[in-house]
């Protein structure tokens, strides 16, 4: 397994090996699925749409509806307007969504298709039925990464749809960033508990975690309704849960409609969840119900019960930056020793934030942005860790080095837990504690000498 | 005596009270008129005797939710990607390389001590600067870095959409790298927008493999009496290994499988084979033709999917070599394999005979898998390819009448001549004439339609909308399709078997594979999951009308 990799960190300037990121459009497609009755549309070659749908489907094991402009060589020469216009006619008449959310690809970006002009022209020519909405985001694949694409579509949603009537609706906008449906569901459960009126946007719960009913619905009940998105300009504040995938759209809403925002780290682990709950309490001016104290207490209790096995255990964490930032704080809370903290996305803000969290207690921790899994593996070969947190692609390193992997982030292509159990909130943290302790102790049970194989732990 | 003469396949009348013609109308009805006119040429009721003309390999209408991917996917993903001891570098933004990394189940086992390069995904991860100022330097540097780390025998480079637009000359970069590094380095201009589907990528891949790999190594391969290549078999779920094992049992040596589980050296020396047999006609027929023209290797179509088809294919190969010992050995192997298979087949057939399947996949699987279903008495009521051409539907005899459109013209047709030294006809004209006189066909594929029932619905490049109509109306018992459709179909309460990835099961090829498939279909069709959809309290609920009547009383 990965037999060529050595303990020497190679000096590479041009070759990316085993990326820890992918390109923008998949993020835009995922964000658009979090609007109710929305068809994501990929303006480019068919392959982009096919790859993104396939990948999202493999992660969620759910139908992922999205359409494509099906570019050909001719389109690449003459521009994509005719294709997009024809696509809009077909989408509205055959699939009948409320919203079409167009995102670009490297191809249409290099050609220079002007999407707002095409939308305007299509509207004038009656190709967009009255009452139907078309929004867009520019998501060139040669800039940023999948998280940029998610963020750009979130900003597009705000730009096109958020309105301000001048009357406050007393509501809080929660911009969750790129989380799984199970996480979105958990964020809503906690916000509901505080009885704060809120709009979660985007919201992929009840879109990509559907029950088996024997009926297929292209637009299931979930997704943030357009009416709620319109009302976001009248909210009292926005909570942006992540620098990379939530903050830019919160900033946009501030710029457009002067809605103030608070930026928090993804609510993974104890303190990050405390911050989420407490922000809702302050902004909504409400009391936190006692059962949340108890839920929090149960998390603390389990940490104190099992914490001995986590103490100073060196771990590697890789993934999308907001998720990694959230998890790093929790790893520190648990007593783990974050040895390698990697993201494939580029952004100095990542390193800065991680270094703030680490303080001066982890002098040899390697923090890398814009890095890849080949380098992570090289470093692990040099100085090993006892646990890896990351997406499914981490399984190759895990097997090569016999290190347990706790699947975390996107994509998880080979297990099902993430579809049901959140990683955010106290319950998510408890779920992570279980996964971490299972991974460490299962490995110990499998590898320790027989005389040290113990019944009780 | 082996014969390719077709047998009567029967007819489909009405299913669930709806005739094929009525269902076709229903599918077309909801479409905008321009789209409807186009789709009408791609949704047909079958006639096995004189297959109607189908508008295959035409552009997908923008906005239609299609199964199709792109040229890059067909080239790098399907045909070349499986070669596991060369490096594959995708020149472009990160996504294309990332998505083609281990997502297609072309399994490979490296020899002891050698690395499996398929575990490494390599891309130039182009950034905005490279788009603006050109990416050739970055590509050259990436090739150097890859060589320094991996020391491969060969490096293969793939262009993605923006590379074609900005005009990077990957071929000259590859030529220079070849000179500099002293290894084989070659490129594929397989930008996603070329052609109308993956199919264009297959053709580009065939051309490149033929130009840059085939025939490079004339060192004699191991002496064996019956040496063949299996073309168009990609070792999904271990199929190629299954086929290889079976052929070896019969005494037939496989020099190379193109390209499942194959090594560079196997490809460069495989022109020494006596015969090419073709599994996936769509993706590799170009190679079979070019190798015949240049080296004199005859080819014919086989199908190792399905027990009956596997037996038929083995007999055809034995007939080709016309060797008594081989023929006897093949019959012994078939008898032994069938003896093991029959009890399973009989048991499962008893449970599922008469059930209905619909298959929408690939460029040959929608045809091949009909045979597996037929083994257990199931009928295929509708089928279609994702990216095939007319010849895959109607048979190769239509090739001269296929109009070359603007999209196909983009793809180079290599001009191939007989190799002055290495061309060697494998059969004497007399031996060939004798075989043909007895019903043996060479260089032919009869297509899917001639083997499907009369009036079965043939749907090319099926859209999500049409699939939904099919399921609602004809209520098939099982669908064979891909990942993008799978959960749509299953949400509708119909089991869906992924025929690209096999749902991570398999192998399904040859006899052992057939047993695996029967058992898998049995599991899916016997699943209780669908019967639990309605909770007991909902079952207990009175229908609203009954409750209202009781209230009124």
Give the CATH number for residue A297.
3.40.50.1980
* Best B62, B120, B470, B489 residue to mutate vs chain A (most A CBs within 10 Å): B62
Q: Does B142 sit within 8 Å of A15, measured CB to CB?
A: yes
The minimum CA-CA distance between A65 and chain B, rounded to whole Å, is: 8
Helix (H) or strand (E) holding A146: helix A146-161
Q: Distance between CA B526 and CA B352 in Å, rounded?
A: 9
A 10 A CB-CB count for A428 gives 25
DSSP 3-state assignment of B129? Answer: helix
Which of A94, A92, A207 has the alpha carbon at shortest distance from B466? Answer: A94
Q: What angle do CA B292, B295, B298 make, to 5 degrees?
A: 35
Residues from chain A that touch B490, judged by Cβ atoms under 8 A, are 212
Q: Which one of A1, A54, A142 has the shortest CB-CB distance to B162?
A: A142
Residues from chain A that touch B78, judged by Cβ atoms under 8 A, are none
> What confidence tens digit (pLDDT) does each residue in B432-448 have?
999 999 999 999 999 99
Same domain, A141 and A200: no
Which of B497, B490, B114 has the alpha carbon at shortest distance from B506? Answer: B497
Q: Does A53 sit within 8 Å of B98, measured CB to CB?
A: no
Q: Considering A247, A271, A288, which residue would you say is the last residue of a domain?
A: A288
Same domain, A411 and A308: yes
Q: Give the count of domains, chain A.
A: 3
- Please say whether the beta carbons of B249 and B336 come within 8 A: no
Q: Does A66 sit within 8 Å of B65, measured CB to CB?
A: yes
Q: Does A70 sit within 8 Å of B488, measured CB to CB?
A: no
Same domain, A97 and A151: yes
Q: Is the pTM of this model over 0.95?
A: yes
Per-residue pLDDT of chain B (553 residues; tens, 9 = 90+): 556 666 678 999 999 999 999 999 999 998 999 999 999 999 999 999 999 999 999 999 999 999 999 999 999 999 999 999 999 999 999 999 999 999 999 999 999 889 899 999 999 999 999 999 999 999 999 999 999 999 999 999 999 999 999 999 999 999 999 999 999 999 999 999 999 999 999 999 999 999 999 999 999 998 999 999 999 999 999 999 999 999 999 999 999 999 999 999 999 999 999 999 999 999 999 999 999 999 999 999 999 999 999 999 999 999 999 999 999 999 999 999 999 999 999 999 999 999 999 999 999 999 999 999 999 999 999 999 999 999 999 999 999 999 988 888 889 999 999 999 999 999 999 999 999 999 999 999 999 999 999 999 999 999 999 999 999 999 999 999 999 999 999 999 999 999 999 999 999 999 999 999 999 999 999 999 988 999 999 888 877 777 777 777 6
Residue A13 domain-assigned?
Answer: no
Q: Considering A234, A259, A288, which residue would you say is the last residue of a domain?
A: A288
Which of B305, B316, B314 has the alpha carbon at shortest distance from B232? Answer: B305
The secondary structure of residue B542, as a DSSP letter, is P
Q: Distance between CA B334 and CA B311 in Å, rounded?
A: 6
Q: Distance between CA B148 and CA B142 in Å, rounded?
A: 10
* Angle, helices B365-375/B307-321, rounded to nearest 10 degrees: 110
Taking CA atoms, what residue in B is nearest to A142? B127
Same domain, A196 and A223: yes
In this model, does residue A258 exceed pLDDT 70? yes
Residue A15 domain-assigned?
Answer: no
Same domain, A131 and A217: no
Residues from chain A that touch B131, judged by Cβ atoms under 8 A, are 106, 110, 142
Q: Considering A161, A194, A209, which residue would you say is the last residue of a domain?
A: A161
Q: Does A72 sit within 8 Å of B195, measured CB to CB?
A: yes
Same domain, A408 and A310: yes
Same domain, A446 and A317: yes
Residue A19 domain-assigned?
Answer: no
DSSP 3-state assignment of B78? Answer: helix
Q: Does A93 sit within 8 Å of B31, measured CB to CB?
A: yes
Q: Distance between CA A63 and CA A56 in Å, rounded?
A: 9
Topology of the domain covering B1-64+338-411+450-553: Rossmann fold (3.40.50)
Same domain, A332 and A439: yes
Residue A318 domain-assigned?
Answer: yes
Residue A12 domain-assigned?
Answer: no
- Please say whether the beta carbons of B171 and B156 come within 8 A: no
Residues from chain A that touch B37, judged by Cβ atoms under 8 A, are none
- Please say whether the beta carbons of B203 and B411 come within 8 A: yes
E-strand stretches of A55-171: 67-68, 99-104, 133-137
Residues from chain B that touch A44, judged by Cβ atoms under 8 A, are 161, 192
What does the buried/exposed string (b/e) look like for A349-371 if buried means 16 or more CB atoms within 10 Å of the residue's CB? ebbebbeebbeeebeebbbbbbb
Q: Which one of A44, A73, A89 has the shortest CB-CB distance to B63?
A: A89
The minimum CA-CA distance between A101 and chain B, rounded to whole Å, is: 12
Q: Distance between CA B55 and CA B483 in Å, rounded?
A: 25
Same domain, A92 and A154: yes
Same domain, A269 and A301: no
Residue A167 domain-assigned?
Answer: no
- Identify the bridge partners of residue A134 per DSSP, sorted by sequence position: A100
Q: Does B94 sit within 8 Å of A143, measured CB to CB?
A: no
Architecture of the domain made up of B71-212: 3-Layer(aba) Sandwich (3.40)
Same domain, A191 and A256: yes
Would you name the residues of A annotated as active-site residues? Answer: 106, 110
Same domain, A240 and A328: no
Residue A9 domain-assigned?
Answer: no
Strand order from edge to edge, sheet including A261-264:
A198-200, A172-175, A237-241, A261-264
Domain limits, CATH 3.40.50.1980, in chain B: 1-64+338-411+450-553, 71-212
- The whole domain housing A62 covers 24-161
Please report the number of interchain residue pairs, chain A to chain B, with beta-carbon separation below 8 angstroms.
Answer: 248
């Amino acid at each position: 397994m990965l037999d060529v990799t050595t303990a020497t960190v190679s000096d590479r300037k041009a070759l990316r090996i085993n990326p820890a990121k992918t390109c923008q459009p998949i993020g835009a497609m995922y964000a658009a699925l979090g609007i109710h009755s929305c068809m994501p549309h990929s303006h480019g070659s068919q392959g982009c749409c096919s790859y993104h749908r396939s990948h999202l489907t493999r992660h969620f094991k759910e139908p992922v509806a999205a359409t494509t402009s099906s570019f050909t060589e001719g389109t690449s020469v003459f521009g994509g307007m005719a294709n997009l216009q024809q696509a809009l006619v077909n989408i509205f008449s055959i699939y009948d969504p409320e919203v079409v959310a167009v995102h670009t690809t490297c191809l249409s970006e290099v050609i220079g298709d002007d999407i707002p002009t095409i939308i305007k022209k299509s509207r004038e020519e009656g190709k967009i039925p009255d009452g139907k909405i078309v929004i867009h985001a520019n998501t060139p694949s040669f800039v940023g990464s999948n998280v940029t694409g998610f963020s750009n579509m979130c900003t597009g949603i705000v730009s096109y749809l958020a309105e301000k009537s001048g009357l406050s609706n007393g509501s809080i906008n929660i911009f969750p960033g790129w989380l799984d449906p199970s996480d979105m569901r958990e964020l809503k459960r906690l916000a509901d508990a505080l009885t704060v009126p809120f709009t979660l946007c985007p919201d992929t719960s009840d879109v990509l975690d559907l029950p088996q009913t024997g009926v297929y619905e292209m637009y299931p009940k979930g997704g943030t309704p357009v009416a709620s998105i319109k009302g976001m300009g009248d909210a009292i504040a926005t909570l942006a849960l992540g620098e990379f995938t939530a903050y830019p759209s919160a900033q946009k809403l501030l710029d457009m409609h002067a809605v103030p925002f608070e930026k928090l780290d993804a609510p993974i682990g104890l303190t990050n969840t405390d911050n989420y709950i407490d922000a809702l309490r302050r902004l909504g001016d409400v009391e936190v119900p006692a059962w949340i104290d108890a839920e929090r207490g149960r998390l603390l209790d389990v940490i104190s019960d099992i914490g001995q096995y986590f103490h100073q255990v060196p771990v590697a964490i890789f993934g999308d930056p907001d998720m990694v930032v959230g998890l790093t704080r929790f790893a520190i809370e648990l007593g783990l020793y974050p040895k390698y903290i990697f993201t494939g996305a580029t952004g100095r803000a990542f390193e800065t934030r991680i270094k703030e969290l680490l303080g001066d207690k982890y002098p040899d921790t390697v923090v890398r942005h814009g890095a890849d899994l080949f380098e992570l593996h090289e470093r692990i070969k040099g100085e090993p860790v006892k646990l890896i947190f990351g997406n499914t692609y981490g399984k190759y390193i895990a097997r090569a080095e016999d290190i347990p992997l706790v699947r975390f982030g996107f994509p998880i292509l080979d297990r099902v837990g993430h579809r049901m159990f959140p990683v955010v909130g106290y319950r998510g943290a408890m779920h992570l504690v279980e996964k971490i302790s299972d991974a460490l102790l299962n490995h110990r049970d499998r590898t320790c000498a027989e005389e040290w194989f113990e019944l009780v732990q | 005596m082996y014969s390719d003469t077709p047998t009567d396949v029967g007819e489909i009348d009405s299913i669930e009270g709806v005739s094929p013609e009525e269902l076709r109308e229903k599918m077309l009805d909801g479409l905008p008129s321009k789209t409807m006119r186009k789709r009408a040429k791609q949704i047909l009721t079958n006639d096995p005797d004189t297959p109607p003309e189908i508008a295959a390999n035409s552009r997908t209408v923008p906005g239609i939710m299609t199964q199709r991917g792109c040229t890059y996917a067909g080239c790098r993903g399907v045909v070349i990607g499986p070669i596991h001891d060369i490096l594959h570098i995708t020149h472009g933004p990160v996504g294309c390389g990332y998505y083609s990394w281990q997502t297609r189940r072309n399994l490979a086992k490296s020899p002891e001590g050698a690395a499996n390069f398929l575990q490494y995904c390599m891309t130039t991860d182009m950034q905005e600067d490279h788009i603006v100022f050109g990416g050739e330097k970055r590509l050259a540097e990436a090739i150097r870095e890859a060589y320094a780390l991996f020391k491969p025998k060969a490096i293969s480079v793939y262009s993605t959409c923006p590379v074609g637009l900005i005009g990077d000359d990957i071929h000259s970069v590859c030529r220079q790298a070849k000179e500099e590094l002293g290894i084989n380095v070659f490129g594929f201009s397989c930008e996603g927008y070329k052609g109308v589907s993956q199919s264009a990528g297959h053709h580009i891949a065939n051309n490149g493999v033929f130009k840059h790999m085939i025939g490079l190594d004339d060192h004699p391969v191991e002496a064996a009496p019956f040496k063949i290549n299996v073309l168009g078999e990609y070792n999904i779920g271990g199929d190629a290994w299954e086929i290889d094992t079976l052929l070896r049992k019969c005494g037939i040596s496989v020099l190379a499988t193109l390209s499942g589980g194959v090594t560079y050296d196997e490809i460069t020396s495989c022109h020494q084979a006596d015969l090419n047999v073709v599994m996936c006609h769509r993706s590799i027929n170009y190679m079979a033709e070019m190798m015949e023209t240049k080296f004199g290797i005859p080819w014919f179509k086989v199908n190792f999917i399905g027990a009956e088809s596997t037996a038929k294919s083995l007999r055809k190969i034995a007939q080709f070599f016309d060797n008594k010992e081989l023929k006897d050995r093949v019959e012994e192997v078939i008898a032994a394999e069938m003896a093991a298979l029959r009890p399973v087949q009989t048991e499962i057939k008893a449970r599922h005979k008469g059930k209905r399947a619909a298959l929408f996949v690939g460029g040959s699987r929608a045809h091949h898998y009909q045979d597996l279903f037929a083994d257990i008495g199931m009928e295929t009521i509708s089928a279609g390819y994702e990216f095939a051409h007319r010849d895959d539907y109607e048979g190769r005899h239509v090739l001269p009448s296929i109009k070359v459109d603007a999209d196909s013209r983009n793809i180079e047709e290599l001009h191939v001549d007989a190799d002055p030294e290495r061309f060697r006809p494998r059969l004497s004209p007399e031996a060939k004439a004798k075989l043909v006189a007895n019903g043996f066909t060479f260089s032919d594929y009869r297509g899917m339609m001639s083997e499907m029932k009369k009036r079965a619905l043939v749907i090319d490049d099926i859209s999500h909308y049409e699939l939904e109509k099919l399921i609602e109306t004809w209520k098939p018992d099982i669908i064979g399709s891909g990942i993008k459709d799978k959960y749509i179909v299953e949400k509708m309460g119909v089991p869906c078997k992924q025929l690209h990835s096999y749902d991570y099961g398999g192998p399904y090829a040859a006899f052992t594979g057939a047993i695996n498939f029967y058992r898998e279909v049995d599991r899916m069709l016997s699943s209780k999951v669908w019967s639990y959809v309605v909770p007991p309290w909902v079952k207990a609920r009175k229908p609203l009308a009954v409750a209202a009547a009781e209230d009124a009383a």
